[in-house]
Amino acid sequence: MDDGIDRTSRLIRLARQFELVRREILAARELDVWEYDVLAALRSATPPHELSPGALVDETLVASGTMTNRVDRLSRRGYVTREPDPADRRGVLVRLTVSGRKKIDAVAAELAKAEAVIWRSVADRKTQQLDGTVRELLASLDR
């Protein structure tokens, strides 16, 4: 088999292993994967941890209608609010609430611990090298 195909297959298998760990931890914390993705995108934004719905669409790679539904659901759970966008009278910003921040911080910390166990089997130098390679590849795809 072609080495490129083998490499891609290995990456997909590795991603599946991380996804299984992620789903297990999120389920235990009563959080869906998509909820984690939206909350994590907001947490990564500069304080006060808010983004436009369009920016959230770009961050999570879903359709705008899907994002509207997701924001509605997260709002009902008390994890986000919609605030007027001071730069655009017609726009809104989705803001992480204190409850949402506590939730994403706790879950992200637990997830990081679980992922660290997986990465521990590889030398730190190699994980840094892999990280650089993956960043470079993703940057080329984003262009």
Q: What is the pLDDT of residue 1?
A: 53
Name the least confident of 40-44, 92-96, 132-136: 132-136
Contact 67, 26 (CB under 8 A): no
Q: Is 136 left (phi over 0), alpha (psi -120 to 50) or beta?
A: alpha
Q: Which residue has the higher pLDDT, 56 or 126?
A: 56
What percentage of residues in the chain have a pLDDT greater than 70?
97
